[in-house]
Structure formats: C-alpha cells, structure tokens
Amino acid sequence: MQALLEAGIPLAAVISNRPAARGLDIARSHGVATAVVDHREHPDRESFDRALAARIDTFQPDLVVLAGFMRILTPTFTRAFAGRLVNIHPSLLPAFAGLDTHRRALEAGVRIHGCTVHFVTEELDHGPVIAQAAVPVHEHDTEDELAARVLAQEHRILPAAVNWFLAGRLRVNGMRVSLVDENMTETALRVPETS
C-alpha cells in the first residue's frame, strides 16, 4: 500500500480485517479513507466475505488490491470482483503458492525466486499473471535476506500493474495477460527496467 501511495496512485480506501493494522494509520496520514471489517466478528468465512464485499462496494473502486491481505476469500467474493481483483504474491507463480514462500524456495534449492502480481480467481494463487519480477537466490541467503530482495521488487511491480489496469492497458485472454502499448498493439508483459 505504501508503494501505491508513493507512486501517486489514487486510493479510494484502505480496508483491513485487523483493527490495529499499520496500513490503516499510513492511509489516514495520507488522507485516505479507512475501514475495518473484523473477521472475528463474523461466525464464518461466508458472512465475513459478504460484509467485506458490501463495505468495499460503498467506496465504488475500479480495482481491489489485496496487498498484505492474508485471508483466503470465498468463491462468492472472488466472483463478485472478477476481473478487477488483484494480489501480489511473494513467489514466481505457479511455484510456491500459499504461505512460507521464501523458506520453501530456499529448501527447494532454486536459483531464482521473485514475486507475481496476478488477477485473483477462485483457485488460490493461480489467477492470470499480470507481472513478475525475479531475484537471484544466493548460496547463503537467509529467509529474511531473500524476503527483502523480493519485497523491493514487489514495490516496483505492483504500482506498475495497477497503473496498467487503471489506464485500460491490460487484456486478458484465458490465463494470458497482454499489455497494450500506446499505439494499441499488444506486447509481451515485461517488468519495468531495473534502476
């Protein structure tokens, strides 16, 4: 969320399921509306997701970004926001879907790790890929060191992907996402150049 704010992307609101989430304070300090839909106040996942969707709808967003939202959403929720619901995941999907991605990457001995911005579908961490960024895995990396390199890339590609969406430059065909350039020709997606 901080990266989105720093990129100048207009946020309709920041909503959290945790009342003490740090992101709420950051959003308020930038004049962004905030809301809390506490999952502990709902008897099950379905009722929480209905309440969350209703609260999101009050802000009428063009896009819902799940940056840092660590709950599995129901199919009813993902269908309600289909095509305008994105997530950032700390791995090069489809590798290492789910949790503990950095530990799992180190245990698997991969040489390249990274992050993925993708459209959210009913299947966890398997929606159409919008953008990915890779980082090297060094021989003596710790989880924290690897996570820090991946996080730096997350902060680069999430704002880029959101800007592409808001500019109407993304085309989805099944599981393939194309980026339409200014001349309205489709090109292969690429991560912005490393500075």
Instruction: For CA atoms 90, 164, 195, 4, give the dihedral sign.
Output: negative
Helices (H), the chain: 2-6, 22-29, 45-59, 75-80, 101-108, 143-166
Q: How far is 85 from 69, CA to CA, in rounded Å?
A: 12
Nearest to 121 by CA among 88, 82, 95, 162: 82
Any long-range contacts for 28-31 (C-beta under 8 Å, 24+ apart)?
A: 30/5
Instruction: For CA atoms 58, 60, 64, 67, give the dihedral sign.
Output: negative
Q: What is the mean pLDDT of the chain?
A: 92
Q: How far is 154 from 120, CA to CA, in rounded Å?
A: 16
Q: How far is 24 from 11, CA to CA, in rounded Å?
A: 12
Which pTM was predicted?
A: 0.91
- pLDDT per position as a tens digit, 157-181: 999 999 999 999 999 999 999 998 7
Q: Do 93 and 126 form a contact (C-beta atoms < 8 A)?
A: yes
Domain boundaries, the chain: 2-187
What tokens does 182 get? 């200014």
- b/e code 127-142 from CB counts within 10 Å (16+ = b): bbbbbbbebebeeebe
- pLDDT per position as a tens digit, 136-162: 999 999 999 999 999 999 999 999 999
Nearest to 190 by CA among 128, 119, 127, 134: 134
What tokens does 7 get? 């990129």
Catalytic residue flag (residue 102): no
- pLDDT per position as a tens digit, 73-123: 999 999 999 999 999 999 999 999 999 999 999 999 999 999 999 999 999
Pick the CATH number of 2-187 from 3.40.50.300, 3.30.460.10, 3.40.50.170, 3.40.50.1820: 3.40.50.170
Q: How far is 70 from 53, CA to CA, in rounded Å?
A: 16
Out of 30, 42, 89, 155, the active site residue is 89
